[in-house]
Amino acid sequence: MAAQHQHYVPKLILRGFLSRDPKEAANERVRVLDLIENKDFATSVDNIMGERRFNDFWLDEEYLGTVEPAACRIESHVAPLVERIRKEKRLLRTPEELSDLCLLMAFQFIRTKKMRQLPERLNQQIIGHVARMGLDPRKVQGIEEWDEEKLKLAHVRHQVRNLDEYAKHFADKEFFLMVAPEGSTFYLGDHPVVLHSDEERHFMRGLGIGVPYIQIYLPLSSEVMLCAYCPAVLGQLMKCRDEEIAKGQGMALDALMKGKITPAQMKEFVEGAKAHDVVSPLIDAIRAGEPVNIGPEQVRCYNSLQAFQAHRFVVDPDGAFLVAREMIADREAADAKDDDRAA
């Protein structure tokens, strides 16, 4: 039997990002950019964001194990939800839906090639740090040699043992949808559950699904993106809004007391502040399950997250890859500067 191509970003998700070319879309083809080779190509959803026997592993020299059936069961379970959200562009906000959204995001977060390679990437960072200190990495305890099979086994164990725990971290998030404007499309990276925070970071706290003020994004189609925010993010928005309104009202009241404005003008100011409040409608829409409409610049920002946090591949339905190519150019320019300094 031929080895099966097994996805770490499922065809269920990839089908939401089919090429804008009607002929390519009819054959379920997507436009892909290889971030390492800086080359784009069109291919079937069958062939991308997966590998031969990605979810298969050797139990011993004779027996092959697999988690592919379990992955397929999870995909089948969440498929109706994903398809409904794409069609209706709204959330029901029921306990059952929340549970399925947590499962969808948690499983997609931990199942990718990038997550599988994490131990080796950390290993290389440690080896590099030790070498820069003038020490021999081979003599340092705790540095493990990883091969493909060891990485695969560790990744499988991590998924099986920790999926429920990851889902619990998502359960305390505020879920909502963002919708791209006409003429703009969301990217899909090969590690599509991406993280962002506007809070200042330091060496003791990076990005993680459980850290305060975290923002988590998973595009479900070229038009719709699932968002999961730490509730503190929305709380901070409301706090800033209240502080700005209170500050403005205080200034208006002071002007009224000094006779600089009339009571009618004071009332007009207060009503005007309410009319320009963008936070309250945002919160109301989120709590009603309605989508948040965003602009082209915001789409560019979220596409940059997909490209920056991808392992190797990014899908753009338009096939332009403007944001991704800008990122590649910036990296190449930075590498050139580093080479000049080293010379």
Q: How many C-beta neighbours within 10 Å does residue 53 have? A: 16
Q: Which two tokens stand for residue 341?
A: 């300094």
CB-CB contact of 173 with 229 (8 Å)? yes
10-residue mean pLDDT series, the chain (343 residues): 82 98 98 97 98 91 89 98 98 98 98 94 80 77 82 94 96 97 98 92 66 96 98 86 77 84 81 76 92 97 98 98 95 78 62
pLDDT, position 203: 46
Three-state SS for the chain is: CCCCEEECCCHHHHHHHCCCCHHHHHCCEEEEEECCCCEEEEEECCCCCEEECCCEEECCCCCEEECHHHHHHHHHHHHHHHHHHHHHCCCCCCHHHHHHHHHHHHHHHHCCHHHHHHHHHHHHHHHHHHHHCCCCHHHCCCCCCCCHHHHHHHHHHHHHHHHHHHHHHHHCCEEEEEECCCCCCCCEECCCCEEECCCCCECCECCCCCCCCCEEEEECCCCEEEEEECHHHHHHHHHHHHHHHHHHHHHHHHHHHCCCCCHHHHHHHHHHHHHCCCHHHHHHHHHCCCCEECCHHHHHHHHHHHHHCCCCEEECCCCCCHHHHHHHHHHHHHHHHHHHHHC
What was the pLDDT predicted at 137?
74
CB 248 within 8 A of CB 269: yes
pLDDT at 1: 45
Query: What are 37's strand-pairing partners?
Result: none
- pLDDT score at 205: 53
Q: Are residues 97 and 91 in contact, defined by beta-carbon separation less than 8 angstroms? A: yes
Tell me which residue of 43, 20, 5, 7 sits closest to 192, measured CA to CA.
Answer: 7
pTM for the full model? Answer: 0.88
pLDDT at 287: 93
What's the pLDDT score for residue 314?
99
Q: Which of 17, 16, 130, 3 is nearest to 81 (CA)?
A: 16
What pLDDT sits at residue 202?
54
Whose tokens are 């011993």? That residue is 60
Pairing assessment for the beta strands 194-196 and 215-219 based on DSSP bridges: antiparallel
Distance CA 83, CA 24 (A): 21
